[in-house]
Amino acid sequence: MKTALAVLSVILAASVARAQEPITIHFEGRAYTFDRPALTPPAAAPVLAAYNQQMALVKIKLNPYHPEMNDALIATLQPGLDVYAVVRELYQAGFKAQAYGDNQGYYYIGVDVRGADAADQAIGLAKYYTVTKVYVGRKVHDAIFPPAQP
């Protein structure tokens, strides 16, 4: 009986909900009938999107060594990741990404943003959970965080 309830809960979770539509499931010679519940989208979705945007903005920093480099983004990664899997995921998402490393075992991702909206690309790159920081040039930084006008 526990197995039947587990199968039933998995089917309920995986199904697309419609209001008051009867469902019958046959399991081990028995028929289970119930009404499918009506699911509504969560009310917190806009709040989560705003939170994700704010967390991405926190990750964006001015490149201290090359503030003139506006055609490339440099992203640092969480330690211990498969850098090539991250590059593949970013490449499939439309980023022109390439892996770089140093002699101490740290990996970086370079993203070519020539001919694209670099500020938009920087924010999109910062939204990935594997990315800890995104270093941008002065022009891109000023596009995302406009300087204060006196």
Asked whether the whole model's pTM tops 0.75, one would answer: no
Residue 77 pLDDT class (50, 70, 90 cuts): confident
> Strand 21-27 vs strand 30-36: parallel, antiparallel, or unpaired?
antiparallel
pLDDT of 137: 94
Q: What is the distance between the alpha carbons of residues 36 and 92, in angstroms, rounded to a whole number?
A: 37
pLDDT of 81: 82
Fold of 45-144: Alpha-Beta Plaits (3.30.70)
pLDDT tens digit string along 18-72? 445 666 767 677 776 766 555 555 554 555 566 678 888 999 999 998 899 999 9
pLDDT of 101: 78
Helix (H, G, I), strand (E, B) or coil at 61: strand
The H or E element containing residue 23 is: strand 21-27
Residues 127 and 90 sit within 8 Å (Cβ to Cβ)? no
Domain limits, the chain: 2-36, 45-144
